């Protein structure tokens, strides 16, 4: 036993050192958001000599003609629609795969698994062409509509796996009581799917909030920009960047994912652990 | 009389089957529309585009020209090389780091939740522009890293502007986000039965041997799953290269998708860009297939254990 004590100490020293490395950049970003320009980039002043709250006010209106409120509303609207779309469509689609028999079921299921592995980059250009043909460029439709059509197959797969784990006796009882497929789905399966619905909600929110590529492709007008696009514009356009204000807006932009994470931590960890998603 | 009696139930059964199938397809409808409209059709279209010279407004069929052009396109080879290097470095490093920290954590029950939360944070925000901005400023000329080096009297550089360093700094950014994989490993480690360790300890197996003989085989399916998903994902890296280094310096971070983006949306060469995206698809397919094939040698399924020996 005496041999094990130094080992345990060593382990904790390593963990603490690692935590510091992991968290230091984020703390630096946070504290930097209160500093003056010249103070941010010196190691010696970790703590701001004076908290400059006006960095936040300046950052908030740093994009000429708009405030970040506009961009936050845009991002929030897109993300919430994506969440709603993903939940609705994935629940619907998973149900027949998990519980019903229908012609071509095996075929469709293999198609589903196939598209799960399909790298999205190959669809990038033709999708853009299609959206352009139907006049959806510079609208939120390309970002939102696919979510309502269960294009994130990963969530569907997750949902199917979960529904399969729900005891069949429950819906058999419902059928005996005279419930058809619709009512069985609504009254029996959905309430039991809460954990996986949380997972889908959390991850679809995070992914669409942090997504940059699609927003970059489809949105051209500053008025329609999301937080990510606005931040990027902030960096690119200003000749004399007020780093403090930029950091302030960066901190605000990661706030929603953080809040989701802290409030839904239990579901979050369960979701990651059981599903193996990022 | 008899025939009628047997016939009647079958027609109602057939009718019920038909009704059921219709209901099933009603449920499937959103996915089917999405599948046909946003996956299948673009997939076919993408291959067709790769055989053409296309802008948004015009298309001319050119056969295999785009594919031939690739062979003499140095930037294409560079992008493929850079992307492959990035994947080969970042995926194993990230997974190794995740596994290592998961091993450190999984017995520390009280402090585990705390560390788990802490280590997960970078994964949570890793893809955002905020983090990209942060990375740019940490390794910039007047950045944090240089100011730290200055303490030791070392002259700093614009690290992200150095062809020799830029790619590695992006790899570092991904490894920093090992938390998500770690959480998955932690869940897997919980399922390793404790009595196996005890038996091994009685047999005199040290911690390293226990790790190699027990832990590693038992979580190998999880490693495989992670390896495949991370590999497919990493081959399609875009945002970091686009926002942090803009593909530079000297194309050292010109990831394939970045090159595709540049060709298709900046230079309006959608045909050639599609051809490259098909080439990338082939590369990803080959790498994934290789991982799958070799996995038979190193992935251990519990059924094997029950089966014999």
The string of pLDDT tens digits covering residues B28-82 is 999 999 999 999 999 999 999 999 988 888 888 888 888 999 889 999 999 999 9
**Rounded Cα–Cα distance for residues B228 and B57 (Å):** 38
For residue B280, give the nearest of A26, A117, A121 by CB distance.
A121
> Encoding tokens for residue B280?
């990338």
Does the pLDDT at position B17 exceed 90?
no
pLDDT band at A75 (very low <50, low <70, confident <90, very high): very high
Q: Could you tell me which residue, A265 or A147, shows the higher pLDDT?
A: A147
- Is some CB atom of chain A closer than 8 A to the CB atom of B23? yes
In terms of Cα–Cα distance, which of B92, B96, B76 is closest to B182?
Answer: B96
Residue A43: per-residue pLDDT: 60
Decide if A56 is inside a domain: no
For B214-265, the DSSP string reads IIHHHHHHHHHHHHHHHHHHHHT--HHIIIIITT-STTTT--HHHHHHIIII
Peptide bond before residue B13 is cis, with ω within 30 degrees of 0: no
Range of the domain at A131: 65-275
CB B205 within 8 A of CB B226: no
Residue for token pair 């969440």: A83
Q: Which residues contact B247 (CB under 8 A, 6 or more apart)?
A: B241, B253, B254, B255, B258, B259, B262
Contact predicate B112/B105, CB 8 Å: yes
* Predicted pLDDT at A127: 93
Give the best residue of B16, B48, B128, B289 to mutate against chain A (max A CB count within 10 A): B128
Please tell me whether residue B74 adopts helix, strand or coil conformation: helix
Calculate how close chain B gets to A204, using CA atoms only, in Å. Answer: 13
What does the pLDDT read at residue B28?
94
- d(Cα A135, Cα B79) in Å, to the nearest integer? 32
List CB contacts of A128: < 8 A, sequence separation 6 or more.
A137, A217, A218, B264, B265
Confidence (pLDDT) at A274: 62
The DSSP result for B75-93, as a single string, is HHHHHHHHHHHHHHHHHHH
Dist. CA A33–CA B1, nearest whole Å: 88
For residue B287, how many other CB atoms are within 10 A of its CB?
17
**C-alpha to C-alpha distance for B104 and A277, rounded to whole angstroms:** 22
CA distances from A173 to A119, A182, B40 (A): 42, 14, 39
**Per-residue tokens: B40:** 């299948």
Give the chain A residue nearest B256 (alpha carbons): A121
Find tokens 């020799």 and name the residue.
Answer: B164
User: What integer is the mean pLDDT of A211-233?
Assistant: 91
Asked if the structure places residue A231 within a domain, the reply is yes
Q: State the Cα angle at B291 between B179 and B176, rounded to 5°.
A: 20
pTM of the model: 0.87
Residues of A in contact with B150 (CB under 8 A): 43
- Of the listed ranges A68-82, B120-134, B227-241, the one predicted with least confidence: B120-134
CATH number, position A123:
1.10.3720.10
Q: What is the pLDDT of residue B1?
A: 42
List chain A residues with CB under 8 Å of B136.
Answer: 235
How confident is the model over B158-170, as a mean pLDDT? 83
pLDDT-derived band at A224 (thresholds 50, 70, 90) equals very high
CB A123 within 8 A of CB B38: yes
pLDDT at residue A252 is higher than 80: yes
Q: Do A95 and B37 touch (CB under 8 A)?
A: no
pLDDT in tens, A159-212: 998 888 888 888 888 888 888 888 888 888 888 888 889 889 988 998 899 888
What are the pLDDT digits (tens) for A93-112? Answer: 999 999 888 999 999 999 99
**The pLDDT of residue B258:** 93
3-state secondary structure of A188: helix
* Minimal-distance CA residue of chain A relative to B18: A102
Residue B279 pLDDT greater than 90, yes or no: yes
Task: Give the ranges where chain A is alpha helix by DSSP (H).
Answer: 4-32, 37-40, 54-60, 68-99, 105-117, 124-133, 141-148, 153-164, 168-176, 181-183, 190-192, 194-210, 213-218, 227-237, 243-263, 265-275
**Mean pLDDT of all residues in A232-255:** 82
Q: Whose structure tokens read 């945002």? A: B239
pLDDT of residue B3: 47
The answer to whether residue A16 sits within a structural domain is no
Are A278 and B20 a contacting pair at CB < 8 A? no
Contact residues on chain A for B284, CB-CB shorter than 8 A: 119
SS3 category, B111: helix
Q: Angle at the Cα of A261 (from A192 to A228), degrees rounded to 5?
A: 120
Contact B277 A95 (CB under 8 A): no
- Angstrom distance (rounded) from CA A214 to CA A143: 7
> Is A6 part of any domain?
no
Going by C-alpha positions, the residue among A24, A23, A31 that lies closest to residue A51 is A31
* Residue with more model confidence, B92 or B16: B92
Asked whether residue A34 is domain-assigned, the answer is: no
Burial group, residue A274, by CB count within 10 angstroms (0-12, 13-18, 19+): middle
Q: Test B236 with A210 for CB contact under 8 angstroms.
A: no
- Among A129, A122, A121, A128, smallest CA distance to A143 is for A128
Sign of CA pseudo-dihedral A244, A247, A249, A251: negative
Among B80-84, B206-210, B218-222, which is the least confidently predicted range? Answer: B206-210
* Three-class SS state of A226: coil
Any CB–CB contact under 8 A between B163 and chain A? no
- Does the residue A204 lie in any domain? yes
How does residue B155 score in pLDDT terms, banded at 50, 70 and 90? confident
Assess whether pLDDT exceeds 60 at residue A22.
yes
What is the interface pTM, i.e. ipTM, of the complex? 0.86
Given a cut of 50, whether residue B27 has pLDDT beyond it is yes
Neighbours of B265 (CB within 10 A): 17
Looking at residue A256, its pLDDT comes to 92
CB A182 within 8 A of CB A60: no
Q: Report the pLDDT averaged over residues B84-104.
A: 92
Residue A52 corresponds to which tokens in the numbers above? Answer: 């400059």
Task: Give mean pLDDT, residues A28-38.
Answer: 82
In this structure, the number of other CB atoms found within 10 A of the CB of residue B209 comes to 12
| Number of neighbouring beta carbons within 10 Å of residue A27 | 11
The answer on pLDDT for B24 being more than 80 is: yes
Q: What pLDDT is recorded for position A73?
A: 95
CA distance B207 to B188: 18
Quick check: is A8 in a domain?
A: no
Total domains in chain A come to 1
Q: How far apart are CA B19 and CA B80, in angstroms?
A: 51
Helix or strand or coil: residue B53?
strand
A150: closest CA among B290, B31, B124?
A: B31
Residue A217: inside a domain: yes
């Amino acid at each position: 036993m005496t041999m094990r004590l130094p080992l345990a100490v060593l382990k904790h020293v390593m963990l603490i050192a690692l935590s510091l490395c992991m968290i230091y950049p984020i703390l630096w970003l946070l504290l930097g958001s209160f500093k003056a320009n010249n103070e941010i980039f010196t190691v010696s002043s970790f703590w701001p000599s004076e908290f400059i709250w006006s960095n936040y006010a300046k950052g908030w209106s740093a994009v000429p003609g708009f405030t970040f409120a506009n961009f936050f509303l845009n991002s929030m609207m897109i993300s919430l629609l994506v969440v709603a779309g993903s939940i609705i469509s994935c629940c619907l689609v998973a149900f027949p795969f998990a519980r019903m028999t229908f012609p071509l079921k095996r075929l469709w299921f293999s198609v589903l698994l196939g598209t799960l592995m399909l790298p999205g980059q190959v669809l990038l250009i033709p999708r853009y062409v299609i959206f352009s043909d139907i006049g959806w460029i510079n609208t939120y439709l390309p970002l939102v509509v696919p979510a309502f059509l269960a294009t994130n197959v990963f969530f569907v797969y997750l949902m199917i796996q979960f529904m399969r784990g729900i005891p069949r006796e429950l819906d058999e009882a419902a059928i005996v009581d005279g419930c058809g497929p619709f009512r069985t789905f609504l009254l029996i399966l959905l309430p039991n799917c809460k954990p996986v619905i949380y997972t889908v909600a959390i991850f679809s929110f995070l992914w669409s909030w942090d997504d940059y590529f699609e927003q970059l492709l489809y949105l051209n007008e500053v008025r329609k920009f999301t937080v990510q696009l606005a931040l990027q514009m902030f960096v690119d356009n200003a000749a004399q960047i007020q780093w403090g204000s930029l950091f302030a807006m960066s901190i605000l932009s990661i706030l929603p994912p953080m809040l989701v994470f802290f409030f839904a931590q239990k579901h979050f960890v369960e979701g990651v652990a059981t599903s193996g998603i990022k | 009389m008899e025939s009628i009696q047997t016939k009647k139930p079958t027609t109602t059964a057939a009718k019920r089957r038909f009704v059921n199938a219709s209901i099933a397809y009603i449920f499937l409808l959103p996915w089917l529309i999405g599948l046909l409209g946003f996956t299948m059709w673009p997939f076919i279209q993408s291959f067709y585009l790769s055989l053409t010279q296309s802008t948004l407004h015009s298309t001319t069929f050119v056969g295999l020209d785009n594919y031939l052009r690739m062979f003499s396109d140095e930037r294409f080879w560079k992008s493929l090389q850079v992307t492959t290097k990035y994947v080969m470095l970042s995926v194993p490093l990230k997974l190794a780091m995740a596994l290592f920290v998961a091993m450190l954590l999984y017995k520390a029950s009280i402090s585990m939740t705390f560390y788990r939360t802490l280590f997960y944070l970078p994964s949570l925000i890793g893809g955002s522009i905020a983090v990209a901005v942060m990375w740019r400023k940490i390794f910039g000329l007047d950045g944090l890293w240089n100011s730290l080096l200055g303490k030791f009297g070392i002259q700093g550089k614009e690290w992200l502007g150095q062809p020799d360093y830029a790619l590695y700094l992006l790899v570092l950014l991904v490894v920093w986000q090992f938390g998500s994989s770690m959480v998955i490993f932690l869940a897997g480690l919980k399922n390793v039965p404790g009595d196996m360790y005890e038996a091994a300890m009685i047999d005199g197996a040290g911690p390293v041997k226990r790790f190699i003989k027990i832990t590693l085989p038992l979580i190998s399916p999880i490693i495989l799953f992670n390896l495949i998903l991370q590999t497919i994902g990493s081959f399609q890296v875009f945002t970091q290269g686009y926002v942090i280094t803009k593909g530079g310096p000297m194309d050292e971070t010109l990831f394939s998708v970045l090159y595709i983006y540049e060709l298709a949306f900046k230079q309006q060469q959608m045909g050639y860009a599609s051809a490259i995206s098909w080439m990338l698809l082939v590369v990803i397919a080959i790498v994934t297939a290789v991982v799958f094939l070799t996995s038979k040698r190193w992935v251990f399924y519990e059924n094997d254990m029950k089966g014999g020996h």
